[in-house]
Structure 1
Amino acid sequence: MPSTTESPATLWELIERAVRLSPAATALRQGTRTLTFGELAERVRTAAHRLRALVPADGESTVGLLFENTVEGAVAFLGALRAGVPLTPLEPDSAEAALVGVHRDLGPLHLVGRQEKLRNLAGAAGASPDRWQGGVLVDVHELTAGPGAADGPAPLPAPPPDAPALYQYTSGSTGEPRAAVHSQRDLVHGGEIYAHTYAVTSADRVLAAVPLLHSFGMVAALATALYTRAELVLLGRFTPAAMLRTMRENACTIVVGTPLAYDLAARSAASQRGAALPGETVRLCLSSGAALPPEVADRFARHCGPAVQQVYGSTEAGVIAAQLPRPDGAADAGVGKPVRGVRIRLVDEEDRPVPPGGTGALLVRTPAMFTRYLGHPGPSECAFRDGWYVTGDLARLDGDGRLHLVGRKESFVNVGGKKVNPLEVEAALLAHPAVAEAVVWGEPVEGQSSERVRAAVVPRAPLGAAAITAHCRDRLLAHQVPAEIDFVASLPKTSLGKIRRAAVAGAAPVRNRDET
């Protein structure tokens, strides 16, 4: 056990500190089920020993956790990190093809998840009930059940805080998902940043309305709760009604969610006219995973109580900037100010600093930054410039030091040498009252080095191409107007609700003529 003067550098050390200071305090809550910090420590130790008995300590094996927002999911996650086995968090309903891809990326993969899911995988592969693709299958309930031999035949060695511990897949919203390599110290630093930025204490109850398998939920909810000894409240499977009910019944003070979660919850609350506001005890709502539309923030504040604050970050870098609550309840402009420990640079194409107020490529250094993409040396090298992480975003700083995102450099469309920002075109499309969602990308023009602007739109009411094109011509320059607009029933999204732009462009049929 580390001395009281040492700063915790792993999640297990955070748990040990919580056990010393408040063993009987509630650490996890899901419905009527709770675990104190003392009980959590025992369950995590047991899960760690069981994993080490099942998974080879060969330095090549990885635990793939089909990570649900449940007590068992959280204990399994912490147990794998305590065991010192590299871990990759995965969608609990991952298709077999996706898991085969992860196996191909990471090598020997040992899956932890619900028994039903594992049984289906083994059956489809024609393998024994506890094997898949050469790896073991571990029922998450059996792994995390207690009581058990907490210390086994001998205490497990402490996992090194700076060793590769987490292979965190990027969202894939703008391209191919890659596994970013993080250490446990990165997670602890992330929890520390959130605790400092938002004054989180052991008196808080943090509702995770976002998947813990993604970096935002993992750090803003789980790591922050462990760092501050706050109570972490889990929903299990998300529904808007469950989110509202849990906020109210558990007197939550902090909510960690996505724009989609806040939108669905606000619409659900609006339908319950006359009901008490579900967020009467909530002092802070954090949103990340996608841009927060102003109308969503307004709707949630109107029907649920508190304002929603945007957090800007990435899987690779962790939290970069954050909006802070203001006395009038409004949100800061842009995506907020850089948080403690984060340094930023805005540079032009020649790597020169841009003048004040100018737009440039955003480079960052953060305490929670990843080291590389596993198995992708080329992209790993391109991701850094002299030790700075290249976010791929274009941004500017205003006079008050707030960061404003302008767009992503690689997503700009080259129309005859003129650069078109897809975000500007999407904003124009979304300004039409009959448009619910929109995504814009560049489509190569056959036989030319140029591109044309193409869009996919989800209509909320009957809408024709001529009407939406005329609408865009009133708001955009001629070269910005989409040359073609596809009307679709829905757009593919990540589990955080972010539109998978690359998937939309890849699925669109190729056109060889301009149909404006």
Structure 2
Amino acid sequence: MLNLSSFLEDSARRHPAKDAFIFQDTHLSYAQVNGAANQIANGLIANGIEPGDKIALSCLNVPYFPMVYFGILKAGGIVVPLSVLLKQDEVAYHLQDSDAKAYFCFLGAPGLPMLEEGHAGFVATDSCKDLYVITAKPTDPSPIPDLKTLGMLMNGQSPVAETVATSAEDTAVIIYTSGTTGQPKGAELTHSNLALNAIVSADLFKPTSEDTLLIVLPLFHIFAMTVMMNAGVYRATTNVLLPRFDAEVVLELMEKHKVTFFAGVPTMYWGLLNYQGDKVDIGGISDTLKMCLSGGASLPVKVLEDFEARFNVEILEGYGMSEGSPVVTFNQIESGRKPGSIGKPVWGVEVKIVDEDGKEVPNGEKGEIIYRGHNVTKGYYNKPEANVKTIRNGWLHSGDVGTKDEEGFFYVVDRTKDMIIRGGLNVYPREVEDVMMKHEAVSMVAVIGIPDDQYGEEVKACVVLKPGQEVSSEALREWTKERIAAYKYPRVVEFLTELPQSATGKILKKELRKM
């Protein structure tokens, strides 16, 4: 038997009174979170949930997320985490596609009508039988009449429960990923996938029960779920939750709670680096902060170097995918690190760079990143054709273009889908972005391909300038031209005040292509 919820149960036994999650002024101990998860599990079982049933969860970074997450697992169910930004048609698609039997939905926040969108999606789905509203307080009624609440589900249930026995290879979570084309697909991650990846993650940055993690990455995203929440619960850390990234708030929480570990995506490091306020003591934060982790997208070397200089802390950058639970490679303390690299394969995972025929290419040559190991999904839920295409002979084909150097460090060049083909020549946006980020006036840049009658695609750079800096599009174009191959430099340069981002902080290049 293996059930991921054993992480919570073990930490509750060893550190019952220790703060597990902090949200605003609320402090919840490991015993309290475990007890609440038991009540939720008992409530679900009393309402007819059986082992293997899928249960969707839309929730911001508040303590209800881990309570419901582990409660579903304790009941033998499968968690289907959903992005908090989904609209009603998208909610309906995910509920239908995953065969969800029940759905937990948080109220939302100003400008984020989660319950309205979630309820409309639920109503449009015949297969989903129950909607539980996660209210601000358990005793609060649902703002939509006649809907059950999480508080009602928990009411009268015992805080003691016997976790349903699940096997290591049973699905624990179905995590949706857009992939390269078509509708989102649900990657089935097993209890073994997620448990081993959380243990591997904890071994990477070595937190203890004396440490405090700040979790601002959304918990519905596999990076935050595994590398922060599950790894943190496994090591009995204190976890400070923040629903939305705001540089000043992040720094204030770091200072207030003496945060020792932080994980973010590149846009978050960029935001922290560019914070100009005077409400926090950067020196004090640096004294406490032990290490930062970066993933989700490639971190520009310039941002990494400047952040490390300002905060006097190392950033370990890694690479992963939803299908990889997610961690595949990481810069590791023991094996050293290289800025700009995604590091080396983590324990139990093999990685190769291959050509179109699946043959490994020489060091330094570009190819597709493929990997195999304990982290690889058992497949996409009800998508046999996608499984055949993505997982071949046990190797997961990532769709990412990468290289490996002589010392075994891997590098991501770009996503295959983001690659620009200009006049028959491949242009990798990451390469152009790295060059342009070195210009003194450039704060952030995203390079995309746009349709062109002559070349098929043309290179365009969307640029955010640093405050108080000026440069013309012509001057920036010429500056880049001098530092990169003639076919790669952007013929079009557009200045923006900000770049569109997803809920997880990734730059949305598809939105830039619509502009």
Q: Sort the Cα spacing of 1:402 and 1:174 in 2 relative to 1 into closer, same or farther, 3 A.
A: farther
Residue range with higher mean Cα deviation, 22-31 or 280-289: 22-31
- After superposition, give the CA deviation of every residue in 1:340-364 in whole Å (9 maximum; x if it has no partner): 1111122223322222343332211
1:149 pairs with 2:154: no
1:211 aligned counterpart, secondary structure: coil
Counterpart in the other structure of 1:263: 270
Q: Sort the Cα spacing of 1:376 and 1:500 in 2 relative to 1 into closer, same or farther, 3 A.
A: farther
1:191 pairs with 2:198: yes
2:37 aligned counterpart, secondary structure: helix
Counterpart in the other structure of 1:369: 376
Counterpart in the other structure of 2:347: 340
Match of 2:88 among 90, 96, 103: 96
Counterpart in the other structure of 2:3: 10
Query: What letter matches 2:72 in structure 1?
Result: A
Match of 2:132 among 130, 138, 142: 138
Measure the CA separation in 1 of the matches of 2:460 and 2:86.
Answer: 28
Match of 1:82 among 63, 67, 74: 74
Number of residue pairs aligned between Structure 1 and Structure 2: 493
Measure the CA separation in 1 of the matches of 2:123 and 2:59.
Answer: 23
Counterpart in the other structure of 1:28: 21
- After superposition, give the CA deviation of every residue in 1:5-24 in whole Å (9 maximum; x if it has no partner): xxxx3222122222333323
1:279 aligned counterpart, secondary structure: helix
* Cα offset, 1:311, TM superposition: 1.8
2:251 aligned counterpart, secondary structure: helix
Q: How does 1:444-459 map to 2 (within 5 A)?
A: 445=452, 451-459=456-464
Measure the CA separation in 2 of the matches of 1:344 and 1:274.
Answer: 41
Match of 1:111 among 103, 106, 109: 103
* Cα offset, 1:269, TM superposition: 6.3
Taking structure 2 as the reference length, the TM-score comes to 0.84
Measure the CA separation in 2 of the matches of 1:280 and 1:435.
Answer: 30
Measure the CA separation in 2 of the matches of 1:166 and 1:126.
Answer: 20
* Cα offset, 1:335, TM superposition: 1.6
The runs of 5 or more residues in structure 1 that have no matched partner are: 3-8, 509-516
1:496 pairs with 2:504: yes
Aligned-residue sequence identity (percent) comes to 25
Verify the 8 A CA contact 2:458 2:491 in the aligned structure 1: yes
Measure the CA separation in 2 of the matches of 1:14 and 1:287.
Answer: 24
Q: Sort the Cα spacing of 1:194 and 1:440 in 2 relative to 1 into closer, same or farther, 3 A.
A: same
* Cα offset, 1:325, TM superposition: 4.7
Residue range with higher mean Cα deviation, 290-299 or 42-51: 290-299
Q: How does 1:345-424 map to 2 (within 5 A)?
A: 345-424=352-431
Verify the 8 A CA contact 2:86 2:117 in the aligned structure 1: no
Give RMSD over aligned pairs.
3.4
* Cα offset, 1:323, TM superposition: 1.7
Verify the 8 A CA contact 2:85 2:503 in the aligned structure 1: no
2:407 aligned counterpart, secondary structure: coil
- After superposition, give the CA deviation of every residue in 1:118-161 in whole Å (9 maximum; x if it has no partner): 65348868969xx9985432122442687742268x85633343
Query: What letter matches 1:438 in structure 2?
Result: V
2:192 aligned counterpart, secondary structure: helix
Measure the CA separation in 2 of the matches of 1:98 and 1:314.
Answer: 21
Measure the CA separation in 2 of the matches of 1:284 and 1:123.
Answer: 40
- After superposition, give the CA deviation of every residue in 1:30-65 in whole Å (9 maximum; x if it has no partner): 233222222222111101122334465496x63221
Counterpart in the other structure of 1:471: 479
Verify the 8 A CA contact 2:186 2:381 in the aligned structure 1: yes
Query: What letter matches 1:213 in structure 2?
Result: F
Taking structure 1 as the reference length, the TM-score comes to 0.84
Measure the CA separation in 2 of the matches of 1:240 and 1:201.
Answer: 26
- After superposition, give the CA deviation of every residue in 1:488-514 in whole Å (9 maximum; x if it has no partner): 454332222212233433x25xxxxxx
Counterpart in the other structure of 2:32: 39
Counterpart in the other structure of 2:142: none
Verify the 8 A CA contact 1:311 1:321 in the aligned structure 2: yes
2:370 aligned counterpart, secondary structure: strand
2:353 aligned counterpart, secondary structure: strand
Residue range with higher mean Cα deviation, 342-351 or 275-284: 275-284
Q: Sort the Cα spacing of 1:233 and 1:147 in 2 relative to 1 into closer, same or farther, 3 A.
A: farther
Measure the CA separation in 2 of the matches of 1:491 and 1:237.
Answer: 17
Q: Sort the Cα spacing of 1:162 and 1:293 in 2 relative to 1 into closer, same or farther, 3 A.
A: same
Verify the 8 A CA contact 1:197 1:340 in the aligned structure 2: no
The runs of 5 or more residues in structure 2 that have no matched partner are: 139-149
Verify the 8 A CA contact 2:321 2:327 in the aligned structure 1: yes
Query: What letter matches 1:413 in structure 2?
Result: I
Q: Sort the Cα spacing of 1:428 and 1:174 in 2 relative to 1 into closer, same or farther, 3 A.
A: farther
* Cα offset, 1:217, TM superposition: 0.6
Query: What letter matches 2:483 in structure 1?
Result: R
Q: Sort the Cα spacing of 1:338 and 1:156 in 2 relative to 1 into closer, same or farther, 3 A.
A: closer
1:41 aligned counterpart, secondary structure: helix
